[in-house]
C-alpha cells in the first residue's frame, strides 16, 4: 500500500468511530458478511479492553512489559464470540444490514445504470471526496484495466471476482491503490460495494477512449 491504508487501519478506525461515512459503510458491510472479519475485529476489541484494564498509565512500572505480555496471552486465549447474523439477515441474505437503508426493497429494485460490462448504482453518501457504488458484473465479464489515483476499497456481496491480488469471495474486503494495476473479472455473477476516494485511471489500450464513459 503506498500510504499505508490497511484492513487493520479500517477496523481500528471503525472501532474508534473515526471513519468517514463511506469507509465505515464498507467496513460494516465486510463485518456483516465475513465471519473471519468479525473474528479479527472481536480480537481487536478484546485486546484493546485487556490493555486498558491491565496497563498502568505513565510512569510504567518495572514489570509493565511482563504485564503486557500476560494481557496479550489472555486476550489470545479468550474465546471471543463474533456477532451473529440477525434474524432479518437470515431471512434476506441478499441485502446485508448496513446496506438496507440504500436498498430497502432489495437490490433488484434499484435504478441500475448500465455501463456496458458492468451495472452500477451510486449510493447517496454524504462524504465529500468519496464515491460509494454497488457494481454488478456477469460471470466472465470484467472491468477495463485500470489503476488508482487514490484508494478503492471493495467488499464482495455476492459471487466472486479475481484480479492480480487473487480470488475475492463473499465478504472479502479488497484494498487497491496506485500500486495496483488490475482488470477485475467476475468468476460468477458478482455484486460488490466499491468505495473510492479519487477517480480511477484506465491503463488498457482503450483507456483514453473509455475514460469519460466508464468512470468506475
Ligand atoms: Zn480497481
Q: Where are the domains of the chain?
A: 1-79+111-216
Name the CATH superfamily housing domain 1-79+111-216.
Answer: Jelly Rolls (2.60.120.10)
Q: Write the pLDDT tens digit of every residue in 133-163.
A: 999 999 999 998 999 999 999 999 999 999 9
Find the 194 Cα to ligand 1 centroid distance in Å. Answer: 9
CA-CA-CA-CA dihedral for 201, 172, 127, 147, to nearest 10: -10
Find the 178 Cα to ligand 1 centroid distance in Å. Answer: 9
Find the 101 Cα to ligand 1 centroid distance in Å. Answer: 26
What burial class does residue 9 get, using C-beta atoms within 10 Å of its C-beta: 0-12 exposed, 13-18 middle, 19+ buried?
Answer: middle
Find the 9 Cα to ligand 1 centroid distance in Å. Answer: 20
Instruction: Give the residue carrying C-alpha cell 469507509.
Output: 23
Find the 69 Cα to ligand 1 centroid distance in Å. Answer: 40
Q: Are 172 and 37 within 8 A, CB to CB? A: no
Find the 105 Cα to ligand 1 centroid distance in Å. Answer: 28
Q: Write the pLDDT tens digit of every residue in 67-121.
A: 656 655 665 555 555 555 555 444 444 799 999 999 998 998 899 999 888 999 9
Amino acid at each position: 500500500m503506498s500510504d499505508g491504508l490497511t484492513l487493520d487501519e479500517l477496523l481500528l478506525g471503525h472501532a474508534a468511530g473515526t471513519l468517514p461515512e463511506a469507509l465505515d459503510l464498507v467496513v460494516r458491510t465486510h463485518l456483516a458478511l465475513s465471519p473471519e472479519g468479525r473474528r479479527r475485529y472481536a480480537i481487536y476489541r478484546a485486546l484493546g479492553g485487556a490493555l486498558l484494564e491491565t496497563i498502568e498509565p505513565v510512569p510504567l512500572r518495572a514489570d509493565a512489559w511482563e504485564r503486557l505480555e500476560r494481557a496479550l496471552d489472555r486476550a489470545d486465549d479468550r474465546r471471543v464470540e463474533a456477532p451473529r447474523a440477525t434474524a432479518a439477515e437470515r431471512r434476506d441474505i441478499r441485502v446485508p444490514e448496513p446496506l438496507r437503508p440504500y436498498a430497502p426493497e432489495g437490490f433488484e429494485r434499484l435504478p441500475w445504470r448500465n455501463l456496458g460490462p458492468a451495472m452500477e448504482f451510486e449510493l447517496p453518501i454524504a462524504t465529500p471526496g468519496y464515491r460509494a457504488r454497488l457494481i454488478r458484473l456477469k460471470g466472465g465479464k470484467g472491468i477495463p484495466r485500470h489503476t488508482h489515483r487514490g484508494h478503492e476499497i471493495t467488499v464482495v456481496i455476492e459471487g466472486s471476482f479475481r484480479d492480480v491480488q487473487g480470488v475475492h469471495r463473499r465478504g472479502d474486503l479488497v484494498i487497491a491503490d496506485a500500486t495496483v494495476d488490475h482488470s477485475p473479472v467476475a468468476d460468477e455473477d458478482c455484486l460488490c460495494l466499491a468505495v473510492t476516494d479519487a477517480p480511477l485511471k484506465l491503463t488498457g489500450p482503450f483507456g483514453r477512449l473509455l475514460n469519460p464513459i466508464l468512470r468506475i
